[in-house]
Structure 1
């Protein structure tokens, strides 16, 4: 197992390098970071433009720009920013904010997809199955931004009717933050409820369909029929034999959808005005900040690659017939 993990990690290095270079070329060609400066009136002096171009490394060949960015990351230097922020100092706190949202949304979506998928498979072609199918397709068709705005407005109406703040609708934490550990934890938990619900509801629908289809297929397999014939309790057959095998395709889907979740988090964080990776990316794109955009893309790509590695390792845990040599 250790040899497999090390081999996979070595394989991911060239994937990340090639992907980062292609992304760097595309981001560099997306626009001129000095466009806003060139459009100013009265015009900026050529000396200032030359100094800014040198600071942003725009006077270097593209390959040298990429090499200096890549070697700088090893030293903790994420490159110069158009807005003159320290990208490394700015992105790590934002990453923690976004990761806690994505992780909680994944856990909630997994719970919903497992419960609804298993019930739909057991009650196949019943009114319960049709109801869950309709609800799943309905949520799947809803745009994330529309659901977030709708839920936020409903929470505002509830707060106004109650005369107090029952649901936090703005920010990832109160400003100023409460004093003490547990009040801080409670404050963060209160702010994360609505964004987590939005991200989970727009995610679990396709996952529940995968669970349902896998459970329907597994229940017809020979080893499940044998377990029933041996007189094992229905719950044991359903959970220990059928569900465990049905989780394998769900594991693959969750790992592949992680990048989609971070993209959905950008929209959700924007609606609820979080200071996470979403607002960081939007500001970087608006300012044509090449190195800030590359920092976001690099971190997300590394997270996706690592989660795909975890998914591969889970295969051997869920199905003992699979051995990773």
Structure 2
């Protein structure tokens, strides 16, 4: 294992060294360091050129300048990082990277997690319902989303996901109910195709999904929820109970009453702790250290509940209760964040238009931890959706293809022949091996988005790594560009190592000590 890691690190370090050297030479040849002076009519233009040449040390051979930059970058290994200076802004590159990396990680974390969960879930269902109307619809939708230009999607999201939604939230009135009816019928068809079954079951599913969708939309419009969204105690309990049932169904099946009871118990504990947590959130100044600590405590309690209920496999019970507990904890957190909605929407800096179209945060917002998180969420919403739509399409296609291949294997037929139900065959035997292709795709995809969300960040004014790269290229600042290349290169190395280890975890036949 250690030899494998050392060999990989050494080979990739040599590759990274050669790549940075070549790119430094190419950037030096391609960049115009006097772009802002060429149109100047200043009488001392020659002095300005000479001053710029001395500032950037352009009289020194480019190879020597590269090794000078490399010596500063190598200091990061011992904690003395010197990645140069962005000469146009007269700012240290390390200072620029701090904010850019944080903003990009926020954006990528939100969009990637959502895309993986939705993509895998829809891909699995599409594989199970192969050659049905649902499968054809998902296939068409995946290809459509994958082919959409990001800049076009971003512009549409700005218009209809922010401007029109903000207008509607200020005046929540419908000109016609026909769009609502069409959406509800579409939801009925979607869930009918996803759940499947005989004709009677499909009709019941269609009617139930359509009526539930219509009742939900009617409640949103009639209760004023659109103007002041919230989850509340009832919402936490209802959604938590639904999550308990769904997680039990996916994990062990609803026939395992012990696991279902354990999951419901976790929801009851969350409901009992709802009000005490509200007092804690009010009297204690919260930060992310507090939130992470409370989440770890919640997971520990849920694991204890699961192990106490035991069952045929105690760790199956514990895993199900832990996931349910995390969902309930996230609901309580989101509920507390949404309690700031009225104050946030009425803030002079927001002026009743909370869905942001540009930037990573609103200026002059100083409402503490909860309002700050709400502000971050409203700015994350549109760029995250833009990235999710593209990633969702690829994850769906990969998962569907992989699951179809796995479902045709001999051991799947053997599992069915032994009398195992379809849920156990799919969730226990097929899904784990079906996730193998994603083990190599997801880490690399994350790195690609961290280094390549240039269009999304530019359109939405999101000051992340992609925006830093494109702005530095436009200003002929070589040091920030080199820092961007080094960071994305190192992350690519880490992504490939993670992919190797994920393969070993998901497939016991694979070893990484070769």
Normalised TM-score (structure 1): 0.94
1:54-76, Cα deviation, whole Å (9 max, x unpaired)? 22122111211110111112242
Query: Residue 231 in 1 paired to residue 231 in 2?
Result: no
Match for residue 393 of structure 2 among 205, 209, 226? 205
Distance in 1, matches of 2:39 and 2:378, equals 44
Query: Residue 156 in 1 paired to residue 163 in 2?
Result: yes
**Equivalence for 2:308:** none
Match for residue 404 of structure 2 among 216, 222, 241? 216
**Equivalence for 2:21:** 21
Tell me which structure has the larger Cα radius of gyration.
2
- List gaps (5 residues or longer) in structure 2: 171-351
Distance 1:194 1:45, change over 3 A: closer
**Equivalence for 2:248:** none
Q: Which moved more, 1:51-60 or 1:83-92?
A: 51-60
Query: Residue 34 in 1 paired to residue 34 in 2?
Result: yes
RMSD (CA atoms) = 1.8
Q: Is the 8 A contact 2:447 2:495 kept in 1?
A: no
Match for residue 384 of structure 2 among 180, 196, 211? 196
Between the two proteins, the alignment pairs up a number of residues equal to 325
**Equivalence for 2:81:** 76
- List gaps (5 residues or longer) in structure 1: none
Q: Give the secondary-structure state (helix, strand or coil) at the position aligned to 2:453.
A: helix
Q: Give the secondary-structure state (helix, strand or coil) at the position aligned to 1:37.
A: coil
**Equivalence for 1:287:** 475
Distance in 2, matches of 1:55 and 1:287, equals 15
Distance in 2, matches of 1:44 and 1:309, equals 55
Q: Is the 8 A contact 1:78 1:291 kept in 2?
A: yes
Distance 1:175 1:69, change over 3 A: same
Distance 1:35 1:170, change over 3 A: closer
Q: Is the 8 A contact 2:451 2:488 kept in 1?
A: no
1:133-144 equivalence runs, <5 A: 133-144=139-150
Distance in 1, matches of 2:133 and 2:452, equals 31
Structure 1 position 45, deviation (Å): 4.2
Distance 1:54 1:166, change over 3 A: closer
**Equivalence for 1:87:** 93
Structure 1 position 178, deviation (Å): 2.7
Q: Give the secondary-structure state (helix, strand or coil) at the position aligned to 2:435.
A: helix
Q: Is the 8 A contact 1:12 1:305 kept in 2?
A: yes
Q: Give the secondary-structure state (helix, strand or coil) at the position aligned to 1:36.
A: coil
Structure 1 position 311, deviation (Å): 1.1
**Equivalence for 2:107:** 101
**Equivalence for 2:65:** 65
Distance in 2, matches of 1:235 and 1:162, equals 42
Distance in 2, matches of 1:99 and 1:205, equals 21
Distance in 2, matches of 1:31 and 1:210, equals 40
Q: Give the secondary-structure state (helix, strand or coil) at the position aligned to 2:30.
A: coil
Normalised TM-score (structure 2): 0.60
Distance in 2, matches of 1:303 and 1:276, equals 16
Query: Residue 269 in 1 paired to residue 457 in 2?
Result: yes
Q: Is the 8 A contact 2:37 2:45 kept in 1?
A: no
Distance in 2, matches of 1:80 and 1:68, equals 13
Higher-RCO chain (CA-CA 8 Å, sequence separation at least 6): 1
Q: Is the 8 A contact 1:55 1:80 kept in 2?
A: no
Distance in 2, matches of 1:184 and 1:166, equals 13
Q: Is the 8 A contact 1:158 1:166 kept in 2?
A: no
